[in-house]
């Protein structure tokens, strides 16, 4: 299959999970989605990640983002692993983990990188918009745990920029000033953004975050 790229339609699939069979599109409905893969069950970094993800679920819910994870092990293994995650991370895993023993979903989403390991998935993150297009992809090596504060930050940026003619600058976080789209003239920007437009350079205009 061709490599999945930003803006592509996220492939649909049906799969068994720790919470039963799902159709991915039906599961997402009109929500945003975050799909993150794990090389295998009972791996140390991924145990901490799934525990952290569970603790962040309320934050994802607040942003209308449905969470789903994937590992190439089976459902029974997942359910045993979840017991360990809940115990060691002092939480309750509250989202489905896809059982992908046949690597069907891993192949659809280009998660198998032979130079890293031809049997296990890399640790990827996909953020998917309500129209089912892929808006962000991040791939981590097995040695580096994901930062869930960063994932929330990029979701805030994606949701803001999807509905307003702005971009977010380096190190932006919710509440900071944003960049006016280069496609808009400064004159028009002042009408669109009544909180004010600061022209640092003709191509660099800043405005307070418009949706707060």
Which residues are part of the catalytic machinery?
A: 46
157 token code pair: 């940026």
Report which secondary-structure segment, H or E, holds 65.
Answer: strand 65-71
Question: Quick check: helix, strand or coil at residue 168?
Answer: coil
Question: Quick check: helix, strand or coil at residue 202?
Answer: coil
Which DSSP symbol is given to 91?
A: S
Q: Angle at the Cα of 87 (from 85 to 93), degrees rounded to 5?
A: 45
Question: In which order are the strands placed within the sheet that holds 166-167?
Answer: 166-167, 178-180, 204-207, 198-201
The alpha carbon of 208 is separated from its chain's Cα centroid by a whole number of angstroms, namely: 25
98 token code pair: 């896809």
| CA 72 – CA 100 distance, rounded (Å) | 4
148 token code pair: 């869930």
| CA 98 – CA 79 distance, rounded (Å) | 11
């Amino acid at each position: 299959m061709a490599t999945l790229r930003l803006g592509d339609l996220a492939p649909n699939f049906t799969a068994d999970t720790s919470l039963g069979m799902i159709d991915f599109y039906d599961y997402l409905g009109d929500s945003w989605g975050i799909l993150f893969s794990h090389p295998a069950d009972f791996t140390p970094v991924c145990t901490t990640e799934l525990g952290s993800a569970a603790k962040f679920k309320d934050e994802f819910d607040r942003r209308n983002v449905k969470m789903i994870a994937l590992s190439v092990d089976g459902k029974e293994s997942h359910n045993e692993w979840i017991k360990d995650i809940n115990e060691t991370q002092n939480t309750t895993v509250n989202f489905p983990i896809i059982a992908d023993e046949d690597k069907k979903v891993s192949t659809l989403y280009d998660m198998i990188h032979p130079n890293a390991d031809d049997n296990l998935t890399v640790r990827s993150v996909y953020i998917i918009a309500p129209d089912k297009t892929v808006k962000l992809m991040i791939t981590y090596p097995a040695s580096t745990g994901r930062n869930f504060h960063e994932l929330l930050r990029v979701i805030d940026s994606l949701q803001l920029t999807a509905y307003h003619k702005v971009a977010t600058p380096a190190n932006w976080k919710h509440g900071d000033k944003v960049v006016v789209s280069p496609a808009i003239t400064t004159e028009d920007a002042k009408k669109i953004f009544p909180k004010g437009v600061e022209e640092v350079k003709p191509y660099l205009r800043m405005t307070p975050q418009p949706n707060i």
